[in-house]
Amino acid sequence: MAERLSDKHIDQEIGYLKEYTSKHPDEPTSTYIREQLSLFEEDKSKIGLIHETYRNVRIGEKKVPSLIFPEDSKRIPNITIPGPLEREVTVKQHGDLTTVYLNGMGIVSYSSSTDDFIGKRVGIDEKGIKGYLFFNSDFFSNFDPQKRIQSESEMRNIAKTFFRLNGKNHVALVQYMCPRGTSKEHFHTLPELVVQLAGGSHWELRNANNDSLIEERGLEPGEILFLPPRTIHRVTGYEDGSITVPIKQTLGDKSDHNLQPKSKERMMMEIREIVKGDNLSGNEILSKLKRYQTNLSANEKETYEEAVDALNETSD
């Protein structure tokens, strides 16, 4: 939960309210604010009065009151939660409105039809997914809904924010994946949590210490997936596309996006699956093997030859 009880935070809320009245001197809301500020001046114990007034004004502006940014924070939210991330991230659904919460604080919502909800509204009109995203703009600070895909991954960021959680650096993203789009297989050395906000996605999960074993998982709206450190993963969007909210610890300025070549054991398993494909002709098998080899990195192609040789030896 954000710290909101210090004198500095109260002063910031009061400053926000006074700034509002100076910008909108003749509005009924400003009259209401001045009345509440006057009551607080008479009785400094009425801190709750300031919090409630601030909240009402922010809601009226279609903004979500949640976090205060100290002057020395460089607008990076600093949050303290009582338990681990995987326990404090929850999802609630009301009709077609899905909202992601961090320790009870709404950070982003999606609706396919509702166009009037609290937060910064961003329209989504993509293949398979149309509707509105509502962002807690006190939490998410970087928006680029029109950004085009510029990498091998078919996933792009709609919004992004850096924050500190229990003193550790984290990043939260809102990502769109096109229908049947696929991300590049990778892993992180730190944990990651993913919420399915809209659409759906299919996940292939492996342990970086033993990549020959695979676990597959599908995510529907409202479902949460926790990825322990060093979990190799690749995600594919469903036919209607996918919007997910990954939240993960970061290494500060260092990247934690790691690629790992396929092991020989994994390749042997995958080659066997191709060769044993049901009702495939010899030419079809050769064609699939060629496509498989083409998609390998230079190092993996050397391992591929070793895997083929090992399979030939076992078949003799």
Q: Residue 22 has which token pair?
A: 């100076």
Domains in the chain, CATH or no CATH each: 7-61 (no CATH), 85-249 (2.60.120.10), 264-315 (no CATH)
Separation between Cα atoms, residue 222 and residue 236, nearest integer Å = 17
Angle between helices 47-60 and 28-42 (to 10 degrees): 170
CB atoms within 10 A of CB 312: 9
* Amino acid (1-letter code) at residue 17: L
pLDDT of residue 9: 67
The arithmetic mean of pLDDT across residues 86-95, rounded, is 93
pLDDT at residue number 22: 93
Per DSSP bridges, beta strands 168-177 and 231-249 are: antiparallel
Contact 125, 178 (CB under 8 A): no
**Does residue 238 contact residue 231 with C-beta atoms inside 8 Å?**
no
pTM: 0.74
For the stretch 122-164, pLDDT in tens is 888 887 899 999 999 888 888 865 544 444 457 888 999 999 9
Q: Which residue's entry shows tokens 């939210």?
A: 77
What integer pLDDT is reported at residue 90 of this predicted model?
95
Of 77-91, 95-109, 136-150, 210-224, which range is least confident?
A: 136-150
pLDDT tens readout for residues 243-292 = 999 999 998 777 899 999 999 999 999 998 888 877 778 888 889 899 99
Query: Cα–Cα distance between 308 and 229 in angstroms, integer?
Result: 31
Of residues 248 and 77, more confidence is placed in: 248
Closest to 30 measured CA to CA, from 61, 67, 62, 63: 61
- 3-state DSSP assignment of residue 160: strand
- Give the pLDDT band (50/70/90) at residue 235: very high
